[in-house]
Amino acid sequence: MLEKFLIFGGLTAFLLAATFPFWQNAAPEDYPKVAMETKGEQCVAPASYMRENHMQLLNEWRDSVVRDGDRFHIMPDGSKVEKSLTKTCLGCHVSQEKFCEECHTYASVKPYCWECHVTPKSGAHTELTGIETEKLEEDNLLNNLLVRNRVFVAGNLNFAVKQQ
């Protein structure tokens, strides 16, 4: 009788231990609570794209700004914003800790943007500093900017027209 008890007890214990990962996963997951409030109406690209590809987009922005001097991004509605993580992204998404860090901590990703780029203080960016649609009229651009920017803007305008 005692053997029976031992055998079945042991088996149950084993089964419980072996299936522990499944049990653990059955518990409701503690998803990150990403702050979704923004100051602007639209994002530089559709949210679904940004969710999956923001790192690629940031890399492209970095390379085009640093290497080619292409400093402006054409928004879906045709307006221009500066290609800037600190000014455009975090000028709109209010908090670095609650928007970036929350998810990165959950996914255990450690990007080193903030080793050099200055973290905007939470809520410090009261205005959309990167978004200067009114100021950057085409004439103004052509007068003030370098040839490299002119070429870029012309190319992008063509692109925007084609898109419509």
Partner 1 sequence: MTENRRKFLKKSAGVIAGAGVVSGFISKYATGFADAATEKAVTKKKIRWGMVIDMRKCVSGCEKCIDACHLTHNVPDFDNPKDEIKWIWKSDYHKVFPSKSQQFVAAETREKPFLTLCNHCENPPCVKACPTGATFKQSDGIVEMDFHRCIGCRFCMAACPYGSRSFNWRNPRPAIKNITPDYPTREHGVVEKCNFCSERLAKGQQPSCVEACPEKVLTFGNLYDKNSEIRQVLKDNPTIQRKPELGTNPSVFYIT
Which residues are at the interface with partner 1 (CB under 8 A)? 62, 66-67, 69, 71, 86-87, 112, 115-118, 120, 143-149
- Please give the helix or strand (H or E) that residue 72 lies within, else none: strand 72-74
Q: List, in sequence order, every residue forming a beta bridge with 74; answer none if it has no partner.
A: 80
* Nearer CB in complex with partner 1: 135/162: 135
d(CA 44, CA 42): 7
* Nearer CB in complex with partner 1: 67/110: 67
The conformation of residue 122, written as its DSSP 8-state character, comes to T
Q: How far is the CB of 61 from partner 1 (least distance, A)?
A: 12
Q: How far is the CB of 55 from partner 1 (least distance, A)?
A: 13
Picking from 63, 35, 34, 60, the residue whose alpha carbon sits closest to that of residue 45 is: 60
| Number of other CB atoms surrounding residue 23 within 10 Å | 10
- How many residues would you count in the chain? 164
* Nearer CB in complex with partner 1: 39/148: 148
| Number of other CB atoms surrounding residue 129 within 10 Å | 16
* Nearer CB in complex with partner 1: 4/67: 67
Q: How far is the CB of 62 from partner 1 (least distance, A)?
A: 6
Q: How far is the CB of 76 from partner 1 (least distance, A)?
A: 23
